[in-house]
Amino acid sequence: MRPDGSKTAGGTVVPMKDNRSARAATEAAPRPVEAPARATEPQAPQHAADAEAAGLEMRGAKILIESLLREGVDTIFGYPGGAILHVYDELAHARDRMSHVLVRHEQGAVHAAEGYARSTGKVGVVMVTSGPGATNCVTGLANALMDSTPIVCITGQVPTHLIGNDAFQEADVVGITRPCTKYNYLVKDVRDLARVVKEAFHIARTGRPGPVVIDLPKDVTAAKTTFAWPESVELPSYRPAGKGDPEAIRRAVALMVAAERPILYVGGGVVNADGSAALLALAERLNLPVTPTLMGLGAFPSAHPNCLGMLGMHGTYAANMGVSNADLLVAVGARFDDRVTGRLKDFAPHARVVHIDVDASSINKNRQVEVGIVGDARLVLEQMLLCLNRDMRLEGPPPREAWWATLRGWSSQHPFRYRRRKDVIMPQAVIEELHRLTGGDAIVTSDVGQHQMWVAQYYGFKRPRQWLNSGGLGTMGYGFPAAIGAAKAHPGRPVVCVTGDGSFQMCIQEMATAVQEKVDVKVVVINNNYLGMVRQWQELFYSRTYSEVGMEWLPDFVKLAEAYHAKGLRATTPAELRPVLEQGLQTPGLVVLDMIVSQEESVYPMVPAGASLQEMVLEPPDDGSEDPEPRDLA
Ligand SMILES: Cc1ncc(C[n+]2csc(CCOP(=O)(O)OP(=O)(O)O)c2C)c(N)n1
């Protein structure tokens, strides 16, 4: 029983409208308020004809495993417990067809599944027990929702007759995870199970991808029924967007051809939609400058002459000034996040806006657009190319000479730069060296903080799905388990987690997982002895009052790695940087590289929170300057 006297919603939850769009519909002011539609009565199970399995009675646990196999699942990240025991028992009999990665904390399981999902484009799968097992997943689920990552998370639940009874390890998982999932289910009838699994994968991977929870009471996993795998999904009210409206596409293309100062602003949606090839073709065909967001890095090759670098709070001068002076902004799979726009009313003030997004609720959410196109980024970009070839008679790419001269001028006057000191390792130099030694080809994950921004600025990503970070939620603890998940999916490829001395400690127990799984993950700790990004804000906006940001009692990361049966190495001087990195990258298995870097280095350029992109600060203030007044921080 919950405090309001109600019981957990009964019956299988039937998706009518996904949790995210239901929320958006409720929150966006002028839209009609739609309550999230949730049936409380179980729907009649859909017994699809399945010749292969017809007549075969199985318990729910086996139906779940068989269903996961039908979905092509080869790896599950999880942690067992009482309520999910039947499933783990069944899993033991399927080990030849499916591997299970035993994490050391359920948060690590979700992040590892995210790393697996983002690096492959497939759905990441998590399995945990009820109560604390499920609640430990909440941060990961919220992270996956914010970064549109496809996850199916199976949580054990207490038996149906105990639901609402404050039973041992009971938590209202459907209630708790509703705001941090794209959709969630409580399965109360084993006959619904195969259909629910089929739907959950469909919902997780289509449209704007996201996490889906299947809450599975223990008695349902024990109950028996015939296994019938549905061949198709019947969700009449869930219609993920596909192609865009041809008329809107024609208008957008005409604007792109005619614009004098256009810019393509490219987000993680292009990566999710596997739209990079179409993006490259369009940018070259129309000679368009491109600026990726933090999540969009790799969607367009950063060394391409049309790439201006990342925009936003720590973006390049050329990208931020380019957007500020553009007459046309074409946003593709990007959501006008506050870390990108700065002060919204001054973002791209002279530009007409074309916005392509798979999620209709993102269009006109933060910025009124000229042309909104709801659709899958790859399909829409391909439609645009087709429209150009068919309907427009272009001699060649529009030269836009004046615009390119201005942009190139900004790029060469203000590249990313930092003080190159001889007495201490500079954090940016670590990332540059990492780029050199890996040829820019590694899969790189990061945690959250200054190190994340330095990787974004200095690594130089070539390809989509090469860069995994927590952009939306900003979750410290994401990077290391995500690297384990990516390494599981890509054996033989170099996987590097760049982390901070604060962030690494948030999921540090996953060293045991990495060693047990024998994955090749190199952890580069940018060790500045501080919660560096918070210290930077306290330096800049709180008159250098450092409040609880010093990591005075750090573990010895080298010894800790050794304690976990991994390799630990340390560099403390610039001369040691390259040989230590080289040795670490060449050593198989888990290696922790403790890089002792300049302690009070800050990330520049920087757009102060609440300022416009044009007010970006390029260099640290002179030491003799007055401290800025504390300001209203977003
Ligand atoms: C789970 C969580 N708690 C708190 C924060 C707030 N936060 C953002 S950056 C940061 C400092 C990170 O320090 P570290 O990992 O050492 O990285 P650095 O900034 O020094 O590179 C903190 C505390 C967060 N993003 N996530």
Q: Does residue 38 register a pLDDT over 50?
A: no
Contact between 215 and 137 (Cβ < 8 Å): no
Q: Does residue 519 register a pLDDT over 90?
A: yes
State how far the Cα of 114 lies from the Cα of 471, in Å rounded to an integer: 13
pLDDT, position 21 = 61
Angle (CA) 289-294-297 rounded to 5° is 60
Q: Coil, strand or helix: which one is 182? A: coil
Closest CA to 303 of 463, 169, 451: 463
Q: Which residue type does 146 have?
A: M
Q: Does residue 500 register a pLDDT over 90?
A: yes
Higher-pLDDT residue of 45 and 329 is 329
Q: Does residue 46 register a pLDDT over 60?
A: no
Share above pLDDT 90 across residues of the chain, in percent, rounded to a whole number: 86
Contacts of 293 (CB under 8 A, 6+ apart): 265, 266, 267, 268, 310, 311, 312, 334, 337, 340, 471
pLDDT, position 466 = 98
Q: Does residue 8 register a pLDDT over 90?
A: no
User: Which residue from 110, 143, 470, 476 has its CB within 8 A of the most atoms of ligand 1, so it is best to mutate?
Assistant: 476
| Rounded mean pLDDT, 35-53 | 37
CA of 634 to the centre of ligand 1 (A): 17
Give the atom of ligand 1 at the shortest distance from the alpha carbon of 504. 15
pLDDT confidence bin for 552, thresholds 50/70/90: confident
DSSP 37: P
Q: Does residue 26 register a pLDDT over 70?
A: no
Higher-pLDDT residue of 9 and 446 is 446
Dump pLDDT digits (tens) for 72-96: 999 999 999 999 999 999 999 999 9
Contact between 12 and 196 (Cβ < 8 Å): yes
Dump pLDDT digits (tens) for 275-295: 999 999 999 999 999 999 999
Angle (CA) 102-107-108 rounded to 5° is 45
- Tell how strand 443-446 and strand 467-468 pair up: parallel
CA of 534 to the centre of ligand 1 (A): 7
Q: Does residue 201 register a pLDDT over 80?
A: yes
Contact between 293 and 471 (Cβ < 8 Å): yes
pLDDT confidence bin for 619, thresholds 50/70/90: confident
Dump pLDDT digits (tens) for 207-225: 999 999 999 999 999 999 9
pLDDT, position 49 = 37
| Rounded mean pLDDT, 489-495 | 96
Contact between 45 and 53 (Cβ < 8 Å): no
pLDDT, position 22 = 58
Q: Does residue 316 register a pLDDT over 70?
A: yes
- On average, the pLDDT of the chain sits at 91
Dump pLDDT digits (tens) for 122-147: 999 999 999 999 999 999 999 999 99
pLDDT, position 394 = 85
pLDDT, position 17 = 57
Q: Does residue 34 register a pLDDT over 60?
A: no
Low-confidence winner among 49-53, 301-305, 408-412, 610-614 (lowest mean pLDDT): 49-53
Share above pLDDT 70 across residues of the chain, in percent, rounded to a whole number: 89
CA of 332 to the centre of ligand 1 (A): 29
Q: What is the dihedral angle through the alpha carbons of 299, 303, 308, 314, rounded to the nearest 10 degrees?
A: 80
Higher-pLDDT residue of 586 and 19 is 586
| Rounded mean pLDDT, 234-249 | 95
| CA-closest residue to ligand 1 atom 13 | 531
| Rounded mean pLDDT, 484-512 | 97
pLDDT, position 377 = 98
Catalytic residues: 106, 168-169, 218, 533
Contact between 145 and 359 (Cβ < 8 Å): no
* Run of H or E including 592: strand 591-596
Residue with tokens 């009482």: 82
Give the atom of ligand 1 at the shortest distance from the alpha carbon of 501. 16
Cβ-based burial of 578 (10 A; exposed 0-12, middle 13-18, buried ≥19): middle
Dump pLDDT digits (tens) for 596-616: 999 999 999 999 988 999 999
User: Which residue from 431, 503, 547 has its CB within 8 A of the most atoms of ligand 1, so it is best to mutate?
Assistant: 503
| Rounded mean pLDDT, 514-534 | 97
pLDDT, position 23 = 55
Q: Does residue 573 register a pLDDT over 70?
A: yes
Strands (E), 447-584: 467-468, 495-500, 521-527, 567-571
Q: Is the CB of 447 under 6 A from ligand 1?
A: yes
Q: Is the CB of 601 under 6 A from ligand 1?
A: no
| CA-closest residue to ligand 1 atom 9 | 449
pLDDT confidence bin for 626, thresholds 50/70/90: very low
Closest CA to 451 of 236, 258, 597: 597
User: Which residue from 107, 450, 533 has its CB within 8 A of the most atoms of ligand 1, so it is best to mutate?
Assistant: 533
Q: Is the CB of 431 under 6 A from ligand 1?
A: no
Number of Cβ within 10 Å of residue 586's Cβ equals: 10
